[in-house]
Amino acid sequence: MTAIAEASAVPDLAALQQRAAQRAAERAGGRDRLRGHIVCDGLVRIFKTEGVEVVALQGLDLVIDRGELVAIVGASGSGKSTLLNILSGLDTPTAGIARVAEYDLLSLSNRRRLAYRRQMVGFIWQQTGRNLLPYLTALENVELPMHLARRGGGRRARRERARELLDLVGVGYCADRKPSQMSGGEQQRCAVAVAVANDPEVLFADEPTGELDEATGAEVFAALRTINAELGVTIVVVTHDHAVASQVRRTVAIRDGRTSSEVRRTARVAADGSTELVSEEYAVLDRTGRMQLPASFVDALSLRDRVRLNLEPDHVEVRPGDRAHTEKEQA
């Protein structure tokens, strides 16, 4: 476990998470229903192409509670996009457990899968052009999902709700603009409003800031935090950018198709009155006792092949296994 303090002007992640949990409890009917909104247990996904099997997920375990805002990070090929496609109902796992609320994603019929994607989840693509219809204004784009699902009451009620959502994500001034008249960041914030128009329980975002610069990406993440805190929507963001992931309270790293580590962050006031973001990193232990050390630890100590383990009263000590390294330490 490591702890890092970063002094800067940062959002109060703890307060935002507390507010999101309160909203989520109101939606669910009590705080006793917050645990395990999204559950993956031993999740496996195997693709077969031209007679070759590719194991994208290798027994992945993950639990996300109602109202959480979680970033899932990993390199290309780590399995993070496969996981997102399964959880959003776009793909079906090979084995294991994947459950969102009362939906078992391994056994959904086509009709129930369609209902799940229409009513339970919202989705934001990385490419801004995939999230909005180019011939509709921002307001009309947000209204459209409500109209198609026949939700939100009459036209006037839908329009009022659409304006509220655009204001909530900070682009109310774009209501009458078409996508071509908006910047990339404005389009993505509008896409956030579209994704929650039907009041889903869960919002999935695939690299939502991948085409944006750092400052604009921060605005999109601010919109996601606002939606999370004010509506109590559970949000899962997939990204390869660890800097982006630092804007949320919990980050889960995936490596080789398994969850490898977690970082949890808390904003607190230091002795001098400044705000600091304290991060703690944890390795993830599966049911059989296996874990993956963070790649930075492995590289720093040049760990390879095997390591030496010592059981201490309150911790486990991990040392390089090669004799030359050990003798060098003792000298």
The answer to whether residue 194 is domain-embedded is yes
The answer to whether residue 264 is domain-embedded is yes
Predicted confidence at residue 282, as pLDDT, reads: 81
The H or E element spanning position 307 is: strand 307-311
Residues 139 and 226 in one domain: yes
Domain count, the chain: 2
Q: How far is it, in rounded angstroms, from Cα 174 to Cα 195?
A: 17
Q: How far is it, in rounded angstroms, from Cα 202 to Cα 108?
A: 17
The answer to whether residue 144 is domain-embedded is yes
Predicted confidence at residue 3, as pLDDT, reads: 47
3-state secondary structure of 136: coil
Residues 321 and 201 in one domain: no
Q: Domain span at residue 326? A: 301-330
The answer to whether residue 288 is domain-embedded is no
The answer to whether residue 295 is domain-embedded is no
Residues 156 and 199 in one domain: yes
Strands of the sheet containing 69-73, edge to edge, are 2-7, 275-283, 258-269, 250-255, 69-73, 234-239, 202-206, 121-124
The answer to whether residue 294 is domain-embedded is no
Q: Strands 52-64, 103-104: parallel, antiparallel or unpaired by DSSP?
A: unpaired
Residues 274 and 316 in one domain: no
Q: Tokens 């409003």 label which residue?
A: 193
Position 16: which residue type? L
DSSP 8-state symbol, 93: -
Alpha carbon 42 to its chain's center: 19
User: CATH number for the domain including 268?
Assistant: 3.40.50.300
Question: What confidence tens digit (pLDDT) does each residue in 128-150 have?
Answer: 888 999 999 999 999 998 888 77
Question: What confidence tens digit (pLDDT) does each residue in 243-254 have?
Answer: 666 678 889 989
Share of the chain above pLDDT 70, in %: 90
Question: What confidence tens digit (pLDDT) does each residue in 259-310 have?
Answer: 888 888 776 677 777 767 777 888 877 777 777 787 778 888 888 888 888 8
Predicted confidence at residue 163, as pLDDT, reads: 95
Residues 273 and 307 in one domain: no
Residues 245 and 310 in one domain: no
Residues 170 and 91 in one domain: yes
Residues 272 and 321 in one domain: no
Start-to-end Cα distance in the chain: 27
Q: Is the pLDDT of residue 103 over 60?
A: yes
Mean pLDDT of 39-63: 89
Residues 177 and 91 in one domain: yes
Mean per-residue pLDDT over the chain, rounded? 84
Question: What confidence tens digit (pLDDT) does each residue in 161-193 have?
Answer: 999 999 999 999 999 999 999 999 999 999 999
Residues 221 and 317 in one domain: no
Predicted confidence at residue 83, as pLDDT, reads: 94
Q: Is the pLDDT of residue 90 over 50?
A: yes
Predicted confidence at residue 330, as pLDDT, reads: 55
- Burial (Cβ within 10 Å: 0-12, 13-18, ≥19) of residue 205: buried
Share of the chain above pLDDT 90, in %: 40
Q: How far is it, in rounded angstroms, from Cα 167 to Cα 60?
A: 38
The answer to whether residue 36 is domain-embedded is yes
Beta strands in 17-127 (DSSP E): 38-49, 52-64, 69-73, 95-100, 103-104, 121-124
Residues 207 and 267 in one domain: yes
